[in-house]
Amino acid sequence: MIVVTGAAGFIASCLVTRLNAANFNDIVVVDNFAVERKLANLKGKRLREYVDRNEFFDWLDKNHEEVEFIFHLGARTDTTEQDKAIFDLLNVEYSQKMWRACCQYQLPLVYASSAATYGSGTLGYSDDDALLPLLKPLNPYGDSKNDFDNWAVQQEEKPFFWAGLKFFNVYGPNEYHKGRMASVILHAFEQIRQTGSMTLFRSHNPDYADGEQQRDFVYVKDLVEVCFFLMQNRQHSGIYNLGTGEARTFLDLTLNTFKALDRPADIRFRDTPEDIRDTYQYFTQADMSKLRSIGYTLPFTRLEDGIDDYVRNYLVPGKYL
C-alpha cells in the first residue's frame, strides 16, 4: 500500500498516474476532498481508499502495518499568502507529525520541499545541507518549506529512508485548478487562445531585460519519475534539488507555447504586481549533481518538447494525465 498526500493536487495526481502505470494500484489518497475543482485530477485512477487529511493520522495508526511507502506532497503552496499561521499549520506542523509517524512505524518518506527556499538566489542553488540554515526565502511559503527542511536534517530520529525534494518551476497536466498559481504555460495557453497575445511581467531589475527573467522549468512527468526512482532505491536519504539544471527565459517559454498552438507570436509586457514585486525571483537553476550522484540517470525533458507535449496532448483537448 502506498500513501500519497495532496493527492488531488497537480503533482501528486500525476504521481498516482505513474504508480498506476507501473501496476501499483493499492494507493491511499489523502487530501481535503471538499475542494471540488481538484477532484477531476483523480478521475479514472485505480485507488484503494480516500482519506481526509484531518483524519489521516488516526487512519495510519490503524493501518500502518499495510503501508509500504509515503509520498507527502500535500501543502499550502500559495506564494502570495502572507498568513504565516496557515503555513505553520499545514506545511510545518503537519509535516513534522508525518515525520514522527514515519519514524514510529518505520515507513520510508518522500516529501515536497521547494526552490522557493533559495530566495533571491544570492547563495546559489546547491542542495548541500550546510547551506540550509543560511537560506533566506522571500515569502512565508518559502519560509515554511525551509523551516521544515532545517528541522528534518537536525532530527536525531529519522525514518530509515527519507528524501525532501526541492521542486523548481513545475509545469504540466493536471494544474487546471491552480488559478493564479498555475504555470506560466497554462496562463499563456489561455491568453493566446482568448486574445491572440500573451502578456508577461516587465523586468524591474536592471540586470534583466523584459522577458529575460530565467527559471528552471521542469516537466511534471520528469518530476514523478524521480519520485518513482526514490521509491525503488531507498539508500541515500537527504534533500535533493528537482529541476532540470538549465535555466530558460520566459520568452523561451512563451514563444514555444505560441509554436505549439501554431499561432504567430504576439508578446506584451505589464508591470509586475506590487504584492509580489519585492519577492520576485529573477533567476533559478537547480544544481542537479547530488541527485545524479546517487544513480539517477534519466534525461530531463527539453522545454521545447515538454511544452509541445503539454499543449498539444493535454491543454488543447482538455485532457488530464
Residue numbering of the annotated binding site: 10-11, 31-32, 38, 53, 73-77, 145, 169-170, 178, 180, 187, 201-204, 215, 280
Report the phi/psi class of residue 52: left, alpha or beta, with left for phi > 0 and alpha for psi in -120 to 50: beta
Task: Match 495526481 to its residue by C-alpha cell.
Answer: 13
Is 171 a catalytic site residue? no
Neighbours of 262 (CB within 10 A): 8
CA-wise closest residue to 51 among 107, 4, 1: 4
Please enumerate, by residue number, every residue annotated as part of a binding site for substrate. Answer: 169, 180, 187, 201-204, 215, 280
Residue 260 C-alpha cell reads as 505549439
| SS3 of residue 135 by DSSP | coil
Is 178 a catalytic site residue? yes
CA-wise closest residue to 254 among 183, 180, 182, 168: 183
Q: Do 282 and 203 contact (CB within 8 A), yes or no? A: yes
Q: Taking each helix axis as running N to C, give the angle between helix 220-232 and helix 303-310, from 0 to 180 degrees, rounded to the nearest 10.
A: 100
CA-wise closest residue to 176 among 310, 19, 281, 52: 310
Q: 45, 158, 176, 178: which one is catalytic?
A: 178
CA-wise closest residue to 103 among 59, 152, 145, 137: 152
Q: Do 300 and 218 contact (CB within 8 A), yes or no? A: yes
CA-wise closest residue to 185 among 314, 300, 79: 314
- Residue 115 per-residue DSSP state: G
Q: What is the largest CA-CA distance in the chain?
A: 57
Q: 94, 111, 118, 141: which one is catalytic?
A: 141
Catalytic residues: 141, 178
